[in-house]
Chains A and B, each alone.
Chain A
């Protein structure tokens, strides 16, 4: 089942989601945000719709079960003169309330399996980026683009200096003052973002040079662990240019909260220009930071 198929089958049931839970494509979290954002990649619709469907199913079941409880609590109170009945068994209702959940689960499992299968298919990618986690920054290496291998385009990406100064204990600086344009970027901005093209199936190969991290940009719809000695793979195809922010999602030591991820999605033309500039720069090789030389042993992914 494709993600498009999922979207179609979700359309009717999506109405179940409460109006206040309706969501727009957000590049970064917003204040008072209640629900998962729709994301900005072709696949990010899958978790978004699955979340809304599951939430709707749970809400309906909750209203029925808790409703029955409240009716029981009001109808069968001793203070209203209720006399306890003696029965303690009813095969029919027991069969019914075992079967109905099973049917609901089968539906949810069917939808989830389709979405998962499309996620797991990293074939046919037009670009490869290697992501390496370090305590406490990310390294991005461009491996290939449109079937052409890229040499020596790679850089470290760490928390921007304004956030870094503000987050120090007793800095006296206001986190609300950390902004890029109108956007509050406290702890969600980096010195050098990952730049990728729009409408391109990008394969990310992800590993780590020290402890386990997790690379998570909510706009892609997924996160995946960066594990030393293991190379994980996942893909994203961004549907709109923009700046998408995320964070490390696996506890990795003292500055785990301070290693954000920023992905700048450019149009294909702008990206080609950007890439050419980077390749020109790398002719005079930029000194990689010390930590980048910690080699991650490349062991094939298990399974």
Chain B
């Protein structure tokens, strides 16, 4: 429809620059920058994953086998920092870069040069951070949360703080770009309440990013001045307070965890209707639920701190606010199930990952609800129960959604179909081993195994060994994904159609596959029937 109407005007347009350097390093094209983000994210996923493999290898059986405890602490710290800031967040920014302009009918991002800068900061930030592993004194070892006074004992603090500043600048610029694109660059007729849920989820996420990344920058800067410039923000000997850092950090940290899950909600809300061939149930409720969750994320930060000795009133307030989040989150899960109900479902790989997301993310939500109950949290806090909880929401939540999105849009990006057989092999291995990996960690936590320990009592041996076996196989399974992507991009003989999926709706499916270097240079004519949410009155 819309693309056909304007198609001939693209014919005389230039394609991608021929020179490798010009095309990739100097790019201002949202698709190329999106690709760069996604490749960067996949690289970081394997670096962070290799840290996880070493952690699981050390924890394979009781006794110290492979490394000194301090190096183990560096691994857990770096695993988290790399996965959060290097793998999950850039993957969502990459997906947003690629898809938001295509979904709202814009020719590119609103600020293309800033887009280039916000990507190219990242490799340098991570080089700086990862280089600390090879410096005398080693990398950061105080946990990704960097609680003082412990984090102040680290020699690499300044490197990490500077790297975090760079990542923060990158995230803020990315967020500004996404907001400007969504608010200013929509094609005429693409009303806010006709936008795909994925675009909505990114709009809200971008506001969260702008709100909290400066808070993190402030917190780590105070660490820096406490260590090197004689301030006493967090030093009780000088009238400071270590708990103040935790309040500031988690005021960033809790919205941050929703930054990592709201775009995933958006992705699932695109995929489920496509493969159920039925419009999403309760579009407005879905958008409203995301906004609710975003708001609540600002008033629940102290649920990470139930054991620091908060006053009773504060513990009660943060418990109630936290429990409240399960209402909008529940609405989202129910709506996805209602979208499937009465549909006509097929189960291609993106749909399989989306269904696994719904079930396994919900399990992570259940343990989240249990963690919200303060008296129970006094037992769960800082145990493997928490580790299991946040890996269910981040691995089978955020990561599964990213993988689902990659399978869903890969044909549009490359013009070729991926191998459905190998996609399914990847899916079934992932979904089985990830549960072998993380489910027993609930038991370990409940039985009393603290997190972030390199060695443990022999009572924890059985489940740790099972968890490690699951971990190695889950890690190895992800190599299949790389194979599928490379095959799809370069070797697949099966050409993708423009629409790719029978039930797919929305502007991104009106452009050819692969999407040409420039799209929508003339705004498309919007036909409400062809939008996923063109006639939404709910």
Say yes or no: is A51 at the interface (Cβ < 8 Å to chain B).
yes
Which chain B residues in 51-73 approach chain A with CB under 8 Å? 62-70, 73
In chain B, positions 333-351 with a C-beta closer than 8 Å to chain A are 333-334, 337-347
B308 close to A76 (CB less than 8 A): no
- Contact between A90 and B338 (Cβ–Cβ < 8 Å)? yes
CA distance A176 to B457 in the complex (A): 9
User: Which residues of the other chain, A, contact B311 by a CB distance below 8 angstroms?
Assistant: 302-303
A224 touches B375 (CB 8 A): no
Q: Does A89 contact B (CB under 8 A)?
A: yes
CA distance A112 to B323 in the complex (A): 11
**Chain B 234-278 residues near chain A, CB threshold 8 A:** 236-237, 240-243, 276-278
Q: Is the CB of A186 within 8 A of B147?
A: no
CA distance A98 to B324 in the complex (A): 11
In the complex with contacts A61-B366, A73-B340, A105-B327 CB distance below 8 A: yes
Bound-state CA distance A220–B122 (Å) is: 46
Docked pose: A123 CA to B70 CA in angstroms: 41
A195 at the interface (CB under 8 A from B): no
Q: Which residue of A lies closest to B368 (CB)?
A: A58
When the two chains form the complex, which single residue of A66, A72, A246 contacts B343, counting CB atoms closer than 8 Å? A72
Question: Shortest distance in angstroms between A96's beta carbon and chain B's nearest beta carbon?
Answer: 9
Which residues does chain A contribute within 8 Å of B192, judged by CB atoms?
none
Contact of B379 among A83, A212, A222 (CB under 8 A): A222
Q: Are B237 and A229 closer than 8 Å at their CB atoms?
A: yes
Closest approach, in angstroms, between the C-beta of A283 and any C-beta of chain B?
33
Question: In this assembly, does B312 line the interface, its C-beta being within 8 Å of a C-beta of chain A?
Answer: yes
Which stretch, A7-15, A163-171, A264-272, touches the partner chain B?
A: A163-171
Q: Are A221 and B452 in contact (CB under 8 A)?
A: no
When chains A and B are docked, how far (Å) is the Cα of A73 from the Cα of B316? 40
Looking at the assembled complex, report how far the CB atom of A303 sits from the nearest CB atom of chain B, in whole angstroms.
Answer: 3
**Interface 1/0 per residue, A54-67 and B, CB below 8 Å:** 11001001100110
Q: Are B342 and A36 in contact (CB under 8 A)?
A: no
User: How long is the Cα–Cα vector from A86 to B538 in the complex, in angstroms?
Assistant: 13
Check B395 for interface membership: any CB of A closer than 8 A: no
Chain B residues, Cβ within 8 Å of A85: 278, 342-343
Question: Does B45 sit within 8 A of A, measured CB to CB?
Answer: no
Does any Cβ of A come within 8 Å of B462's Cβ? yes
Residues of A within 8 A of B153 (CB): 211, 253
Of B5-13, B357-365, B522-530, which binds chain A? B357-365
B376 at the interface (CB under 8 A from A): yes
B210 to chain A, nearest CB (A): 30
User: A69 contacts which of B337, B363, B454, B459 (Cβ < 8 Å)?
Assistant: B337
In the complex, the answer to whether B327 meets A297 with C-beta atoms within 8 Å is no
Q: How far is the CB of B463 from chain A (nearest CB, A)?
A: 8
Known contacts A212-B242, A253-B150: A119-B375 contact under CB 8 Å: yes
Find A115's partner among B334, B370, B375, B462 (CB 8 Å cutoff). Answer: B375
Judge whether B62 and A84 touch: CB under 8 Å: no
A299 contacts B by Cβ under 8 Å: yes
A residues near B226, Cβ cutoff 8 Å:
none
Cβ-defined contact, B68 with A169, below 8 A: yes
Contact partner of B340 (CB less than 8 A), chosen from A66, A72, A223, is A72
A119: chain B residues at CB < 8 Å are 375, 378
Q: How far is the CB of B145 from chain A (nearest CB, A)?
A: 9
| B456 partner residues in chain A, CB cutoff 8 A | 187, 257
A167 to B283, CA, bound (A): 56
CB of B337 within 8 A of CB of A105, answer no
How near does chain B come to A222, taking the closest CB pair, in angstroms? Answer: 4
Using Cβ atoms and an 8 Å threshold, which residues of chain A touch B427? none
Instruction: State whether B309 touches A230 (Cβ < 8 A).
Output: yes
Asked if residues B455 and A187 are in contact (CB atoms below 8 Å), the reply is yes
For the complex, what is the distance from the CA of A225 to the CA of B538, rounded to whole Å? 48
CB distance from A206 to the nearest CB of B (A): 8
Q: Which residues of A from 188 to 230 have beta carbons under 8 Å from B?
A: 188, 210-212, 214, 216, 218, 221-225, 227-230
Mask of B375-401 contacts with A, CB within 8 angstroms, 1/0? 110110111000000000000000000
Question: CA separation between A58 and B365, bound complex, in Å?
Answer: 9
Q: How far is the CA of A4 from the CA of B28 in the complex (A)?
A: 66
- Contact between chains at B341 and A76 (CB < 8 Å): yes
Least CB distance from A84 to B in Å reads 4
Given A210-B149, A251-B150, A254-B73, the answer on whether A73 and B381 have CB atoms closer than 8 Å is no
Tell whether A93 is near chain B: CB-to-CB under 8 Å.
Answer: yes
A112 touches B374 (CB 8 A): yes
**B445: shortest Cβ distance to chain A, in Å?**
9
- Is B279's beta carbon under 8 Å from chain A? yes
Q: What does the 1/0 interface line of A77-93 toward B look like (CB < 8 Å)? A: 11100111111111001
CB pair B236–A230 under 8 Å, yes or no, is yes
Measured between beta carbons, the chain B residues less than 8 angstroms from A130 are none
For the complex, is A35 an interface residue (Cβ under 8 Å from B)?
yes
**Chain B residues, Cβ within 8 Å of A292:** none
B279 CB to closest chain A CB, in angstroms?
4
Contact B455 A167 (CB under 8 A): yes
Residue pair A105, B340 in contact (C-beta under 8 Å): no
Known contacts: A184-B459, A251-B150, A258-B69. The answer to whether A73 contacts B319 by CB under 8 A is no
Q: Is the CB of B345 within 8 A of A167?
A: no
State the CA gap A283–B319 with chains docked (Å). Answer: 48
Q: Is the CB of A84 within 8 A of B309?
A: no
- A116 pairs with B315, CB closer than 8 A: yes
112-143 of chain A: CB within 8 A of chain B: 112-113, 115-117, 119-120
**Distance A185 CA – B340 CA, assembled complex (angstroms):** 52
Q: Per a CB cutoff under 8 Å, which of B308, B323, B381 touches A105?
A: B323
Contact A47 B241, beta carbon cutoff 8 Å = no
Structural contact, B344 and A83, CB atoms closer than 8 A = yes
Select which of A33, A47, A50, A249 is within 8 A of B459 by beta carbon: A33
Which listed residue, A86, A89, A169, touches B67 by the CB 8 Å rule?
A169
Instruction: Give the distance in Å from the alpha carbon of A169 to the alpha carbon of B355 in the complex.
Output: 44
Report 12 cross-chain contacts, Cβ distance below 8 Å, ordered by A residue.
Answer: A34-B447, A35-B443, A69-B359, A86-B278, A88-B279, A89-B282, A116-B374, A169-B64, A228-B242, A251-B143, A252-B150, A257-B453
Known: A77-B344, A227-B309; 7 extra A-B contacts, CB below 8 A, are A78-B346, A94-B282, A175-B458, A187-B455, A214-B382, A216-B382, A250-B147
Which positions in B face A, CB cutoff 8 Å? 62-70, 73, 141-143, 147, 149-150, 153, 236-237, 240-243, 276-283, 285, 307-312, 314-316, 319-320, 323-324, 326-327, 330-331, 333-334, 337-347, 355, 358-359, 362-363, 366-367, 369-370, 373-376, 378-379, 381-383, 443, 446-450, 452-463, 503, 536-538
A residues sitting closer than 8 Å to B (CB atoms) are 28-37, 46-47, 50-51, 54-55, 58, 61-62, 65-66, 68-69, 72-73, 76-79, 82-90, 93-94, 97-98, 101-102, 105, 108-109, 112-113, 115-117, 119-120, 166-171, 173-176, 178, 184-188, 210-212, 214, 216, 218, 221-225, 227-230, 232-233, 246-258, 296-297, 299, 301-303
